[in-house]
Every structure is written in structure tokens, then in C-alpha cells.
Amino acid sequence: MGRAFEFRKARKFKRWGNMARVFTKLGKEITIAVKQSGPYPENNPRLRVLMQTARKENMPKENVERAIKKATDKDFSDYKEMNYEGYAPFGIAIFVETATDNTTRTVANVRSYFNKFGGSLGTSGSLEFLFDHKCVFHIKPKEDISLDDLELELIDFGVDEIAEDEGEILLYGEFAQNSNIQKYLEENGFEITASEFVRIPNDIKPVTAEQAEQINKLIEKLEDDDDVQNVFHNMAE
């Protein structure tokens, strides 16, 4: 197993533990996808796979419909996707992805969290090089193809790691190849159960238990903010 799959295992419980947060996050992603490419899944690949993800996470149908309707509301101006980068205590890099309808509020909140918990907010792009931006597809296995064969087939489409997890196959690929990978999977009859984007740290830093406790206070505060979609870091877990 590579570092991408180990990263997934380490973050799994924290990321998906709070269902209300999951629904809020997915709702925003659905709204953004609809705003960008329309409300019809057959014509919107990103919306199509987000609806599969919503089903996997047991997101109520009415929540999905509300998120779609919000994007088509003439009074809705759209969410702006903004990234913020900084350091937690003890030199741990933090990458924050947000989707917000008020960037002034969001940056003020994010800065206050860093300051309150002993960190410092950096400039845009200052820490991006510390993380590899990846797309992740969850698919159901097919009896007529092995993992080795699938990996060989998908190398040319940007997939660089494949692993099994709880009866599913996880495909990790370059972020820029997301559309090509999805197109291949759909055209070749693979059932996509979920899809997400992650930032995998390329340099893990060990910390003590006491240090981790202090760093996690900042991470948890960031994750509790309604404007925050994802928080990534390079702390060893």
C-alpha cells in the first residue's frame, strides 16, 4: 500500500464522522457543480459523481434537491472557492479549502483560528508545494478484471495508485486527470460509488502526543467552521 492509501485510512474517521458536516460539504459541492455546468447529471460529469457520493453517505434526497435548486436560484450569487495556507504550532503545515459567499468573513475567521491556537496564516501558494493534489475514485470491483490489470490500463489516464478498502477499489490519480479517469470508468462499465479531491502531504512531520493535542485543537476549530470544506496537514498520525 502506498502513502495515498495510508493517508486515506488515517483521515477517514475524522473526515466522515460528523454526518451534518458531510451533508453541508456535499451540498456546497453540488451547488458549485450545478452553477458551473448545469443541473442535469447526464450533461454534468461532476454532478453525476457527487450524486453517487451523496447516496453513499446517505444524504437525504431533499438535501440534494435543495442544493441543486440553490444554484439555479436567480438570487444566489455563487460560492467562491478559496484556499488558505499556514503553519500550526511546531511547524506543521496546514492547507484549508473553503467555499464561501463572504470571503471577508471567511479569511477573518481562519486568521483568528490560527492566531488563537498558536499558528500563523501565510500567503496564498506559500505551502501548496508541500501537498500533492489528487482525485480519488471509489469503484465497485468487477469479476473479470484484476487490480494489476486495472492499474496497467489506467496508468495512461493519470492513475498512480490503486488499493482495496472494505470491498471497494480506490483509485488515486492526478487532480488534472479527474475528468479523463471518470470518463474511462463510465465508458467501461465501472460503478463509481464516490469521488473526492484530497491533498496528500509529501513530507510527514512527527510530533509528540502533547504537541498533537495542541495542533488538533486548531484543526478541529477550522473543521467546525461552516465555510471550511477540507483541512489537510502534514502531521504524522
Digit-coded pLDDT (tens) for 185-199: 999 999 999 999 999
Counting residues of the chain whose pLDDT is more than 90, the rounded percentage is 79
Are 227 and 104 spatial neighbours (Cβ–Cβ below 8 Å)? no
How large is the average pLDDT for residues 209-236? 96
Same domain, 164 and 193: yes
Residues 129-166 have pLDDT tens digits of: 999 999 999 999 998 888 889 999 999 999 999 999 88
Closest CA to 10 of 235, 168, 167: 235
Q: Output the CA–CA distances (angstroms, integers) from residue 7 to 35, 131, 180, 211, in the order listed.
A: 31, 12, 24, 20
pLDDT band at 13 (very low <50, low <70, confident <90, very high): very low
Q: Which CATH number does the domain housing residue 102 bear?
A: 3.30.70.980
Q: Output the CA–CA distances (angstroms, integers) from residue 80 to 36, 50, 141, in the order listed.
A: 12, 18, 36
Length of the chain: 237
The rounded distance, in Å, linking the Cα atoms of 88 and 227 is 19
Same domain, 14 and 59: yes
pLDDT band at 74 (very low <50, low <70, confident <90, very high): confident
Q: Is the pLDDT assigned to residue 122 strictly greater than 50?
A: yes
pLDDT at 3: 67
Q: Is the pLDDT assigned to residue 9 strictly greater than 70?
A: no
Most distant CA atoms of the chain, gap in Å: 54
pLDDT band at 19 (very low <50, low <70, confident <90, very high): confident
Total number of domains in the chain? 3
Which range of residues forms the domain containing residue 41? 3-72
Q: Output the CA–CA distances (angstroms, integers) from residue 183 to 81, 104, 175, 188, in the order listed.
A: 25, 37, 14, 8
Same domain, 53 and 161: no
Same domain, 89 and 180: no
Q: Which CATH number does the domain housing residue 65 bear?
A: 1.10.10.200
pLDDT band at 21 (very low <50, low <70, confident <90, very high): confident
How large is the average pLDDT for residues 37-54? 96
pLDDT band at 7 (very low <50, low <70, confident <90, very high): low
Are 194 and 53 spatial neighbours (Cβ–Cβ below 8 Å)? yes
Q: Is the pLDDT assigned to residue 92 strictly greater than 80?
A: yes
From 43, 72, 101, give the residue that closes a domain: 72
Q: Return the number of other C-beta atoms located less than 10 Å from residue 51's C-beta.
A: 20
Contacts of residue 227, Cβ cutoff 8 Å, sequence gap at least 6:
98, 99, 100, 102, 105, 106, 109
pLDDT at 75: 82
Same domain, 121 and 145: no
pLDDT at 215: 97
Q: Is the pLDDT assigned to residue 127 strictly greater than 80?
A: yes
pLDDT at 20: 85
pLDDT band at 77 (very low <50, low <70, confident <90, very high): confident
Q: Is the pLDDT assigned to residue 16 strictly greater than 60?
A: no
pLDDT at 195: 94
Same domain, 208 and 99: yes
pLDDT band at 14 (very low <50, low <70, confident <90, very high): very low
Q: Return the number of other C-beta atoms located less than 10 Å from residue 108's C-beta.
A: 11
The rounded distance, in Å, linking the Cα atoms of 158 and 180 is 8
Same domain, 156 and 107: no
Same domain, 193 and 150: yes
The three grid cell numbers given for residue 68, joined into one nine-digit string:
441543486
pLDDT band at 11 (very low <50, low <70, confident <90, very high): low
Q: Return the number of other C-beta atoms located less than 10 Å from residue 179's C-beta.
A: 12
Same domain, 116 and 223: yes
From 56, 72, 88, give the residue that closes a domain: 72
